[in-house]
Amino acid sequence: MSGVFTPVDWASWPRSQIFWHYTEAAPTAYSMTVSLDVTETRRALRTAGRKFFPAYLWLVTRAIGHQPALRTAEREDAVGYWDTLVPAYPRLCEGDGTTALLWTEYRESFREFY
């Protein structure tokens, strides 16, 4: 499954001025920290014999994917939206201390993703 990128019509896109401002006039980045109680989630996963990280990755990717503004990107000089997201994450390489970037193709079904 590969994602589909749909370019926006810049002239009629309501977010065009906002996008331009934060990418050209005042480039910025953002991050967010949220406290979540995952006690029940961890308990259910443990009971099911599942690991926490893949479940966390699926839940976060699913939540972010429901927000079109968070799927916005630039591709080949066009601004648009991806229909799905593919989570990428680092993995520590044993021995030399470097990291490798891994990715897991997103699936709507948790069983398929896991």
Assign 3-class secondary structure to 39-58.
Answer: HHHHHHHHHHCCCHHHHHHH
* Average pLDDT value over all residues in the chain: 92
In this prediction, residue 79 carries a pLDDT of 94
In this prediction, residue 2 carries a pLDDT of 65
Residue-wise pLDDT tens digits, 17-68: 999 999 999 998 878 888 989 999 999 999 999 999 999 999 999 999 999 8
Question: Can you give the pTM of this predicted structure?
Answer: 0.78
**Domains detected in the chain:** 5-84 (3.30.559.10)
- Conformational region of residue 49, where left means phi above 0, alpha means psi within -120 to 50, and beta covers everything else: left
Residue-wise pLDDT tens digits, 54-89: 999 999 999 999 998 889 999 988 999 999 999 999
